[in-house]
Amino acid sequence: MWFLIRAVFWLSIVFALMPWPEGAGLHSSTAIWTGARNAIGAAVGQARAKSQQLCTDAPIACLEAAAKLGQLTVDKRPDEARPKAEVKTVPAGGPPR
C-alpha cells in the first residue's frame, strides 16, 4: 500500500515538472494534483478499512501491533518530550481527612 502512495507522489512531481505545451500548464497541473489527492485519499481509505477489518477479526493481534507501534513512537521522542511520571506519596498516618 505504501508503494502505491509513494508512486503516486513521485509521479505527480514528475508530471508537474515535465515541459507542457503553452496554455496546458495551469490546467494540467491542477488536474494532476487533484488526481494525486484523490488517489492518496483512496489509498488511505482502503488502508483504514483493511486495518479496521483486521482488528475486528483478530483483536489480540491488533492490540499487540498497537502496543509495538506505541513503543516505537515513545522510543523516538527526546527525553524532554517524554511525559514525566508523577509520584504521589501518602503520609504514614493515611490520607488526610
Tens digit of each residue's pLDDT (9 = 90 or more) over 18-77: 887 776 555 567 778 888 899 999 998 898 888 888 888 888 888 888 888 788 777 665
Res 38: pLDDT: 92
Instruction: Give whole-number Cα distances, 62 to 16, 50, 51, 52, 68, in Å.
Output: 39, 12, 9, 9, 10
Question: Which pLDDT does position 83 carry in this prediction?
Answer: 59
More confident residue, 88 or 67: 67
| Domain residue ranges in the chain | 43-74
